[in-house]
Chain A
Amino acid sequence: MTIIVKAITRLTVGLILLFGIYIVAHGHMSPGGGFAGGVIIALSFIHIMLAFGKEEAFKKINQGVASFFESIGAIIFITLALLGISGGYFFLNFLSKGEPFKLFSSGLIPLYNIAISFKVGSGLFIIVVILVLLKITKEGGDK
């Protein structure tokens, strides 16, 4: 990519990541949440890949790490849901609900959002990586 794209990317990529984290953290009281925030977090890494090439992006996060986070996100989600059984019901929101519209409120929902953002962010990143890495060949090898 050109120097313009690279310079702008250097400036914005951190902000995009931060915005993604903001969306995840405030998912329970404003529009957004784990899915939207996860997509934005993934976009910040995809942004690096588009501007500087895939090698540069893999230095920040490689497929193994992304795959690990994808699995761990799902496992955290299921574990939180199962912890609800301690209070009597699967998916029960057993933490204190707190005061509405405060960052630390609504019990387990912010934690679910974080688990979903792991899953969605790394999942989307892996999908883009696969689209970048795979080459399409025609049957019979005609050129």
Chain B
Amino acid sequence: MTHMLLPLFVVIPLGAAFLNSLLGKRIKGFSDILSAVATCALACISIYSIFIIKDAGLIVYKVGGWIPPIGIVMVMDGLTVFMAVTVNLVAFLISVYSISYMEKYTEKWLFYCLFLLMVAGLNGVIISGDLFNLYVFLEIAAIASYALVAFGTEHEELEAAFKYAVMGSVASSFILLGIVFLYSVTSTLNMADMSLEIAKGGSPRIIMLVSVFFLMGFGLKSALVPFHAWLPDAHPSAPAPISAMLSGVLIKSLGVYAIIRIFFSVFGATPQILNTLMLLGALSMMVGVCLALGQWDLKRLLAYHSISQIGYVVLGIGLATPLGILGGLFHLFNHSVFKSLLFLNSGSVEYATGTRDLQKMGNLKEKMPVTSATSMVASMSIAGIPPFNGFWSKLIIIVACVQAQHFAYAVWAVIASLLTLASFMKVQRYGFFGELRGRLSGVQESPFFMKLSMILLAVICLAGGILLLPGVYGSFLEPARDVILAGKDYAKMVFMSVR
């Protein structure tokens, strides 16, 4: 029976999205409730599947009853569950937040429809065991996000969405081209089967070319530095819940997860790829934070920090030591929590004051205690102040760098972390402390649902370190790390689980 859970990850959001488009316009409040219930169900299923995976190890679901190399499969292993929990937990809290926040836009049901389609795409990318299917879900999520960035339909938003759409399409074309080349070499699209074919070592040059295409395509989706130009425009222009979704989970699910799955599980990580990943990670880390320092637009500043924090994740995973991968994955989870929280805070500030400019804010902590307190928690987390979750993951990554004899990267990461702290001190000083401006004297705290989801995210930030405790570590982070460490054994495990 547990097998039945796998297709639900895609079916629930897709079904809810189309029910929304059918009934949301006609029945008031229907889309709010439906989307909250659907994402809540997804979050519950993904948390429940932690326990299934603990017993089963790896589950393969044959869609339509066709056996793997012929039919499409859905594969659930430790990494899948880890990503699914991250995506669906954040999606649920963002969906709750949107109930109040999206009141200021018209056509709320349309927003929920696109939002749920995006969640369906993200879950599909994570759960799919078939490379072309992964591409299809990636496009669903990406196209929904192009539309969502343009949701305000002002000039600035349309321009950002157009830029994002063009760059995203270029990335998708490279990914598709890579898949075409791979298919021509291996004659299969199933990732496990493909991995076995590549292991025979037929045509290493094509694999090299395809690796570069994938690095370019997925690198653009995950906004690594040479490919980051769409992100600082797209993230600030979207409505706040979508900024949180894009920064919190989309760049990780479409970018980092796909990179891990393809380069570790299908190709098998070679030293060239790992060095490239580490270099791109280190570059993103520093460039992102340096560009963020000079920003006065709150959401733009946060968007540049997304680039910087993705750098940490990729650096950790590029180390390919057990500790490095653990740090990278843990930071991925932590970043999706605290960055979503920060974007929701910025949305809350914008909702109340109507501005995103830090120079026009001041002393909001008296007027908006919840927003201010939660943003303090999130800022401390992202800057890596102990007891908050960001500290532990950054510490693990830096220790892993030292352990792997990459001292330069370790120092580099420490410097980037200090610059992050500096830039968030600026946010706190200008946004929430300092003197109150007369214009803002009538500002009020945000509505209940916005406060609720911000508080819940802040609690997860504070309690994130628990994931490293012995009992919890073995069921959530360790299985995910083991999948990456196992690398090309993925294929063997998939075929063993079928029989």
Residues of B within 8 A of A89 (CB): 62-65
Question: Are B22 and A81 neighbours in the complex by a CB distance under 8 Å?
Answer: no
Instruction: State the Cβ distance, A29 to closest chain B Cβ, in Å.
Output: 19
Identify the stretch in B11-19, B52-60, B355-363 within 8 Å (CB) of chain A at 4 or more residues: B11-19
CA separation between A81 and B14, bound complex, in Å?
Answer: 12
CA separation between A67 and B20, bound complex, in Å?
Answer: 12
Question: Are B63 and A78 neighbours in the complex by a CB distance under 8 Å?
Answer: no
Interface of B is mostly: helix
Question: Are B65 and A78 neighbours in the complex by a CB distance under 8 Å?
Answer: no
A52 is an interface residue with CB less than 8 A from chain B: no
Question: Are B64 and A84 neighbours in the complex by a CB distance under 8 Å?
Answer: yes
Q: Report which of B22, B61, B62, B63 forms a contact with A72, defined as CB distance below 8 A.
A: B22
Residues of A within 8 A of B14 (CB): 74, 78
Residues of B within 8 A of A82 (CB): 11
Instruction: State the Cβ distance, B247 to closest chain A Cβ, in Å.
Output: 27
B322 is an interface residue with CB less than 8 A from chain A: no
Question: Are B22 and A68 neighbours in the complex by a CB distance under 8 Å?
Answer: yes
A61 is an interface residue with CB less than 8 A from chain B: no
Question: Are B64 and A93 neighbours in the complex by a CB distance under 8 Å?
Answer: yes
Question: Are A92 and B22 neighbours in the complex by a CB distance under 8 Å?
Answer: no
Question: Are B22 and A75 neighbours in the complex by a CB distance under 8 Å?
Answer: yes
Residues of B within 8 A of A75 (CB): 15, 18-19, 22
Q: Report which of B21, B64, B155 forms a contact with A70, defined as CB distance below 8 A.
A: B21
Residues of A within 8 A of B22 (CB): 68, 71-72, 75
Question: Are A74 and B18 neighbours in the complex by a CB distance under 8 Å?
Answer: yes
Residues of B within 8 A of A88 (CB): 65
CA separation between A93 and B63, bound complex, in Å?
Answer: 10
CA separation between A63 and B22, bound complex, in Å?
Answer: 13
Residues of B within 8 A of A67 (CB): 21
CA separation between A38 and B22, bound complex, in Å?
Answer: 20
Quick one: CB contact mask for B441-456 with A, threshold 8 Å, 1 for yes? 0000000000000000
Residues of A within 8 A of B4 (CB): 85, 90
CA separation between A84 and B71, bound complex, in Å?
Answer: 15
Closest B residue to A138 using CB positions: B155
A-B contact pairs, 17 of them (CB 8 A): A71-B18, A74-B18, A75-B19, A75-B22, A78-B11, A78-B14, A81-B11, A82-B11, A84-B64, A85-B7, A89-B62, A89-B63, A90-B6, A90-B64, A92-B64, A93-B64, A139-B155
Interface residues of B (CB under 8 A from A): 4, 6-7, 11, 14-15, 18-19, 21-22, 61-65, 155
Interface residues of A (CB under 8 A from B): 67-68, 70-72, 74-75, 78, 81-82, 84-85, 87-93, 139
